[in-house]
Structure 1
Amino acid sequence: MDKNKNNQSISEKADMLISQYHVNPNVDKEEVLGTVLNKIERKETKSVRQINWFRAAGISAAATVAVLLAFYFFTATIAISAGDSKILTYRMPDDSRIVLRSGSNAEFGKYFRKRQVALEGEAYFEVEKGDGFVVKTDNGIVRVLGTRFLVSGKNSRLNVKCYQGKVETEFENKSWILEPGTQFAGDESTANKSRFDESVQFPDFALFSKNFTSAPLTEVVQRIEDFFKVQINLQPGITKTFSGSIQTANLESALQIVCESLRLNYEFEDDYRIKIFNY
């Protein structure tokens, strides 16, 4: 067998594998490579045997690193956790937003090849359009057919509320389709679908609920940015203060409350970048 030809073939396959995967452009490639190489050095005997197998098969060092990089891109995960006394919001790789209730945890692929989230506890989701989105708990699975919903998986219970769009809930080998204003509750003895008050558009912990007294606008803007995971550019020279209450789960409503009271204007530069400026 032609050794160079074999190396070229495997290298091409590794390149194809990596090219089919969309890597976050903000990731420092040298940092990723360093991480992978460090992992290689720390591998136990089994991994060493695997690398030796690569070498025995005539695969070049470059091809070996390419395969390991591809493996990393496909398997790297992000784990987020909300402490016992706080709410955590996070913008996932596909720009979907998750709000974790205190004491809850979630894990998903760093590069989100599969839009799948493993959840422990309770979370509110605002899902961007795309191919499939799945939330897995120990007690059941929720497949997203819409955009805004709540999932709570604790002990042997599964609770799901649909606020917008549709979600499919799987529990004990059965499935339920939830429309806006409907919810699912299942435990060891019962499983049913019912309606809830449609005037309730968000779970309480997903509300941005703050009171401000003569707070610098920069502080108010920072709080809004942190909760909704957006970037707000404040026009230089604006030094106003804000007093009032904000209680909403809608970003634009929060912006309206602040800007209208201070006679300012705002504009979306894209979905997650906003500028605030004088009239």
Structure 2
Amino acid sequence: MDKNVLDKWLDGTHTAEELKALEQDPTFAAYRKIDRFAKQIELPPFDTEGSLASIKEKLANSQRKKPKVRVLPALLKIAAVLALVLVSYVFINALPTTINTQLAETTTLTLPDTSEILLNENSEISYQKNSWNENRMLSLNGEAYFKVAKGETFTVNTPQGTITVLGTQFNVTATNNTFQVHCYEGLVAVTYNNETIKLPAGNGVTVTNEILEQTKVFVNKPEWHGNESSYDNVRITDVLKDLEQNYNTTVSTQNIDVTLRFTGSYTHTDLEAALQTITLPLGLTYAIESEDSVIISTAKNKE
């Protein structure tokens, strides 16, 4: 069967000759039955315009229910970014700069005003590097030597007391058991327990039994700069504690007078020489048991 002729018959555009040709085909009778059955089916009426209006209304309602997104004007966006940058800048500037040293380590740092600080071993110092001109305060725990730039001033806070710098060179020792300030040049003001003492060059203060005592300084810089430790009327127990740290050893004592005081220096490079320097002037003896153990005793006990 010719499909093109069948399509014309279904559309009603066939000719009489084409219909005669179809009728000669045995399968055409089946197509006629299908055609008659289809024409008997009645479809319900369809309101095209009404359905289109209903669809448009549903679309409009769905659009109204969508959340509204407000777009910030360009100026507001710029303001928000600038505010974020400002907050970040303030936060970063508020962070302190902290430097610390380990055992047998020293380091030198330069402040923004060109003042120099030599930090001794086992010490820590912190300050506001990014806002130094507005916040001229440092925190020190341990020992440090300060060489202040001419005309500059700042304050050093320690757990024990406060030192106000007035353009000078000075040394501060602030540990759990010791608070000592020596002035080598210029003038510093030391405050301890609400008591303030001004120290000119060649003077120092030491806290003994929670009392601020003035002392004399006979050298032009602290001996630890040259791998030495220097003391002026310091309790022997404090000297031996420093010796333990400097040589990473344990010092035990046997029947010594804990009220003894030591004035002098000892080297950081020779343990036996250091022990001789400390014990001989005080009538003590020593024994090096091992690399990490030393015993200090009185001369009569040694015998």
One-letter amino acid of the counterpart of residue 123, structure 2: S
**How far off its partner does 1:178 sit?**
0.1
Report the Cα distance in structure 2 between the residues aligned to 1:139 and 1:187, rounded to whole angstroms.
Answer: 12
What is the TM-score normalised by the length of structure 2? 0.46
d(CA) in 2 for partners of 1:142, 1:118: 10
Find the counterpart in structure 2 of residue 103 from structure 1: 122
- Counterpart check, 1:152 vs 2:164: no
Gaps of at least 5 residues in structure 1 are 8-54, 210-279
Deviation of 1:157 (Å): 3.0
Mapped partners of 1:84, 1:60: distance in 2: 48
The answer to whether the Cα contact below 8 Å between 1:87 and 1:205 also exists between their aligned partners in 2 is no
2: CA distance between counterparts of 1:189 and 1:144? Answer: 23
Q: Does 1:170 align with 2:214?
A: no
For residue 167 of structure 2, give the secondary structure of its aligned residue in structure 1: coil
Q: Is the 8 A contact 1:100 1:122 kept in 2?
A: yes
Report the CA distance between 1:108 and its aligned residue. 1.0
1:67 maps to a residue whose letter is V
> Is structure 2 residue 167 aligned with structure 1 residue 139?
no
Judge which range, 169-178 or 93-102, deviates more: 93-102
- What TM-score results when the alignment is normalised by the length of structure 1? 0.50
Conservation of the 8 A alpha-carbon contact between 1:91 and 1:97: yes
Q: Aligned in 2, Cα 1:140/1:72: closer, same or farther, shift over 3 Å?
A: same
1:161/1:85 CA distance change after superposition, 3 Å: same
Residue 205 of structure 1 is matched in structure 2 by 224
- Per the alignment, residue 90 of structure 2 pairs with 70
Larger radius of gyration: 2
Alignment partner of 2:224: what SS? helix
CA distance in 2, matches of 1:183, 1:124: 13
SS in 1 for 2:90: helix
* Structure 1 residues 10-50: Cα deviation after superposition (integer angstroms, max 9, x where no partner): xxxxxxxxxxxxxxxxxxxxxxxxxxxxxxxxxxxxxxxxx
Q: Which residue of 2 aligns with 1:91?
A: 110
User: Could you list the per-position Cα deviations for residues 209-252 of structure 1 after superposition, in whole angstroms to 9, with x for gaps in the alignment?
Assistant: 9xxxxxxxxxxxxxxxxxxxxxxxxxxxxxxxxxxxxxxxxxxx
Contact kept, 8 Å, 1:157 with 1:188, in 2: the verdict is: no
Partner of 2:36: none
The offset of 1:65, in angstroms, is 1.2
Letter of the structure 2 residue corresponding to residue 174 of structure 1: E
Q: How does 1:224-235 map to 2 (within 5 A)?
A: none
The structure, 1 or 2, with the larger RCO (C-alpha pairs under 8 Å, 6+ apart) is 1
* RMSD (CA atoms): 2.6
Q: How many residues align?
A: 154
Q: Percent identity?
A: 29
Gaps of 5+ in 2: 1-71, 229-303
The CA distance in 2 between the partners of 1:189 and 1:160, in whole Å, is 15
How far apart are the structure 1 equivalents of 2:205 and 2:148?
19
The offset of 1:206, in angstroms, is: 2.6
Indicate conservation of the 8 Å contact 2:183/2:217, yes or no. Answer: no
1:189, 1:135 → 2: CA distance? 19
Q: CA deviation at 1:118?
A: 0.6
Whole-angstrom CA distance in 2 between matches of 1:182 and 1:85: 28
Q: In structure 2, what residue type is equivalent to 1:108?
A: Y
Residues 88 and 177 of structure 1: is their aligned pair in 2 closer, same or farther, counting only changes over 3 Å? same
Q: Give the Cα separation in 2 of the matches to 1:147 and 1:208.
A: 23
